[in-house]
Every structure is written in structure tokens, then in C-alpha cells.
């Protein structure tokens, strides 16, 4: 069977990260993605390291399988091509600051009137409304302003960004989610909608527990290292050869953990339930590590897993890419080059769908303007 979004065409004006993540998510589900880039330089991500054979490996992963055409939306000839694409595409994605598309003559009110079928997806730092809508915004700004940096790191340590651009990726996935909802609505109504996603909003949407803690207790939560503040124990602990993680999210699991580690803590009032364990989390960590430091990570992970307790290693990326479970799920794929050779490793599609293809390779990211002839021929056939 074809992929779920086969036959859907996405016109992708986005660049760098959040928007391309959304377009890639739709493309991985079968949509055809036509990437519109600036003539001459293209997407800024083309200049992001690391490079292989002069090409950005990150750009290749983000834009795999897309087609590229370079258009100057201020030039009359290119505007005619762009408007031809708008007439034939189902979805438009853009990541400009609010107001840019309006100045170009392609804002939502104009496009909705001229192309009522079109779904318009916009991702920006602060969204289309509000006092800061037209301010520039990047992932690190959203992490800082949205509260994540205040929660990342160790108590008393410096504010830290997360190790991945989580605001960008989350905003991109919310944009894809919104587009899919708009497609369902269009099937009923016949008309497109605008989807407006902000990095700052997406960042805040990740912090339900922090919001609950801050509003209920009146005290803003701070960083807790590797520990999940709502559950204890749920964190990294030290073995004789380094850290591993374990989690006992309910009383039954905690009892199993105590048996597996030989800890005489069942019935101890300080650890009687999850709330008590959270209050005494640092003490509990020390008691657990007094045991786990006597043997290796592999020993404890095997023992806890056998007892039904969630536990796992703290992997470096090279170990992640070789993890048997990740490999079995086809979560490491080869991105091909333009000669059909495996050139880059990338994360696969985490959405596994029945009767849908999930190939071990992905088509290459396009050369800048590399599909112009193909795209123009497609327009002529329409």
C-alpha cells in the first residue's frame, strides 16, 4: 500500500530547522515536498556543519527526499511560477517573521481568497499575534524565555540549554500536527485553514509539570539534574564503571527495586509512597548508590530488567546508532547522495504505520534549484 500522505503536495518555504522538521515529517508519511529557496544561497542550513564532501550532513538529514526550486518572490517571472505552485499544492509552509508574507503579497487573507483549498502553516519565534510577534526568535531564545533553561542542569549550576534544539523540533512537530488536523477539516469543509505555531508556545507546552509545581506551590521549580521531579527514584545513578538510569514510578516497582538491590526500605515511612520518596529523593539516591557502586552498569541493568524495573544505559551517540532495539525499529537510515550511494546516517521515521513503507534508505536532499526542470514540467502538465 502507498504511504498515508501519498498524493499530497507540500510547498515548503521554510528554512533552518522548525519548518523543515515539519515538512520532513509530512514527507516521511508520503507527501511530496517542494522546497522553495533563495536563489544563490538557498536554505541557511546548507552552511551548517558537519560537512561531508562539501555538503552539510545536517541539511541532508532535514531535507531528505525533498525537491528544490530557487525563486525570487520579488521577481515577476518567479512570482508567476510560485502562484502556479500555489494553485496545485495542498499545503504551504513558511517560517518568516510575521508580516513578511503580507509584504510580498502572499499573506493568509490573500492566499485564502485566491486559493481557498490551500492549508497555510506558519512557524515563527513568537507566533502571528501578541506584542512580540515580529521579534526574531531562535531555539535558544525559546528555551530561555520559555523556562526550560531554568530547569536544565544541576542545582546551583549555570543555566543550560538542552542538548538538542527541542523548541525547534517540538514546534515543527506541532506544525505538522496542525496541518494534519487542517487536512481532516478540509475533507469535510473543502476549505483550508491557517495553522500558526510559535517556538515559545511549543516550549511552554512541554512544561506541564513545571507549570503545575509553580502555580500550586508558589515556588518556581529549579534544575534537578537527571531526576524527574515528579517521580522518585527516576534518575541516573552511579555504578562501579559509570552511570545508568533506573525508574520506579509506583509503590510496587519500588518494592521490587528494594528486593533487587537488597535495600531494607520497604515499610520505611520516609519512602512509604511516591510523595514521600520525592521529598527524600536525595537521601534515596545516596542509599541506592551505596549498593550500585559495588558492581557494573551491565550487572545492574540486567538484574533490574529481569525484575521488571525500567533501567537502561547512558549512551553516547555512537552507541545509540548501534543499539539493537533502535536498529530493529529501522531508526537509523541511510540518506543517499545524488549518485544513489549511501552518504549520510540519519534518524528514521518514528511513526510506524501498518501497511506503509518504511525503507532503510532515504532519497537525497536536493541540490539548490536541482529540480527546477522537473517542477516546471509538472506545472505545465497541470
Please confirm, yes or no, whether 185 is among the known catalytic residues.
no
**Whole-prediction pTM:** 0.95
The predicted model gives 319-328 an average pLDDT of: 97
Q: What Rg, from alpha-carbon coordinates, does the chain have?
A: 24
Please state, for a pLDDT cut of 90, what percent of the chain lies above it.
98
Among candidate residues 265, 245, 244, the one with its CA nearest the CA of residue 256: 265
The predicted model gives 140-152 an average pLDDT of: 97
φ/ψ (deg, to 5) at 149: -65, -30
Task: Report the interhelical angle of 251-261 vs 297-306 (nearest 10°).
Answer: 130
Please, what are the domains in the chain? 9-205+327-381 (3.40.50.10540), 234-316 (3.30.1540.10)
Among candidate residues 168, 208, 251, 318, the one labeled active-site is 168
Residue corresponding to grid cell 521531579: 229
Tell me what pLDDT residue 1 has: 81
Among candidate residues 291, 303, 312, 309, the one with its CA nearest the CA of residue 252: 309
The predicted model gives 46-75 an average pLDDT of: 97
- Count CB neighbours of 18 within 10 A: 31
Among candidate residues 23, 65, 31, 56, the one with its CA nearest the CA of residue 365: 65
Cell of 248: 520506579
Three-state SS string across 78-128, please?
HHHHHHHHHHHCCEEEECCCCCHHHHHCCCHHHHHHHCCCCEEEEEECCCC
Tell me what pLDDT residue 382 has: 75
Amino acid at each position: 500500500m502507498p504511504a498515508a500522505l501519498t498524493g499530497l503536495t507540500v510547498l515548503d518555504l521554510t528554512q533552518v530547522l522548525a519548518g523543515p522538521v515539519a515538512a520532513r515529517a509530512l514527507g516521511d508519511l508520503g507527501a511530496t515536498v517542494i522546497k522553495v529557496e533563495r536563489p544563490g544561497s538557498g536554505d541557511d542550513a546548507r552552511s551548517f556543519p558537519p560537512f561531508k564532501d562539501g555538503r552539510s550532513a545536517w541539511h541532508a538529514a532535514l531535507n531528505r527526499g525533498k525537491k528544490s526550486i530557487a525563486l525570487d518572490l520579488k521577481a515577476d517571472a518567479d512570482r508567476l511560477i510560485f502562484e502556479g505552485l500555489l494553485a496545485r499544492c495542498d499545503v504551504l509552509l513558511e517560517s518568516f517573521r510575521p508580516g513578511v508574507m503580507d509584504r510580498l503579497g502572499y499573506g493568509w487573507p490573500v492566499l485564502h481568497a485566491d486559493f481557498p483549498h490551500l492549508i497555510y502553516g506558519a512557524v515563527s519565534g513568537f507566533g502571528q499575534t501578541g506584542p512580540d510577534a515580529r521579534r526574531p526568535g531562535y531555539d535558544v531564545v525559546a528555551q530561555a524565555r520559555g523556562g526550560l533553561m531554568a530547569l536544565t542542569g544541576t542545582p546551583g549550576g549555570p543555566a543550560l540549554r538542552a542538548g538538542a534544539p527541542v523548541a525547534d523540533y517540538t514546534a515543527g512537530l506541532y506544525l505538522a500536527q496542525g496541518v494534519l488536523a487542517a487536512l481532516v477539516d478540509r475533507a469535510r469543509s473543502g476549505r483550508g485553514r491557517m495553522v500558526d505555531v510559535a517556538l515559545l508556545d511549543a516550549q511552554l507546552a512541554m512544561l506541564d509539570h513545571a507549570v503545575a509545581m509553580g502555580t500550586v506551590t508558589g515556588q518556581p521549580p529549579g534544575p534537578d539534574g537527571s531526576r524527574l521531579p515528579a517521580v522518585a527514584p527516576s534518575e541516573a545513578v552511579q555504578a562501579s564503571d559509570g552511570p545508568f538510569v533506573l525508574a520506579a514510578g509506583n509503590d510496587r516497582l519500588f518494592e521490587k527495586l528494594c528486593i533487587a538491590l537488597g535495600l531494607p526500605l520497604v515499610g520505611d515511612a520516609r519512602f512509604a509512597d511516591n510523595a514521600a520518596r520525592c521529598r527524600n529523593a536525595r537521601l534515596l539516591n545516596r542509599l541506592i548508590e551505596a549498593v550500585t557502586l559495588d558492581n557494573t552498569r551491565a550487572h545492574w541493568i540486567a538484574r533490574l530488567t529481569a525484575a521488571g524495573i525500567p533501567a537502561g544505559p547512558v549512551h553516547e551517540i555512537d552507541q545509540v546508532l548501534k543499539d539493537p532495539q533502535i536498529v530493529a525499529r529501522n531508526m537509523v537510515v541511510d540518506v543517499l547522495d545524488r549518485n544513489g550511494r549511501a552518504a549520510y546516517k540519519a534518524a528514521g521515521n518514528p511513526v510506524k504505520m501498518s501497511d506503509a513503507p518504511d525503507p532503510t534508505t532515504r532519497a537525497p536532499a536536493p541540490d539548490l534549484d536541482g529540480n527546477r526542470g522537473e517542477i516546471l514540467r509538472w506545472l505545465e502538465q497541470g
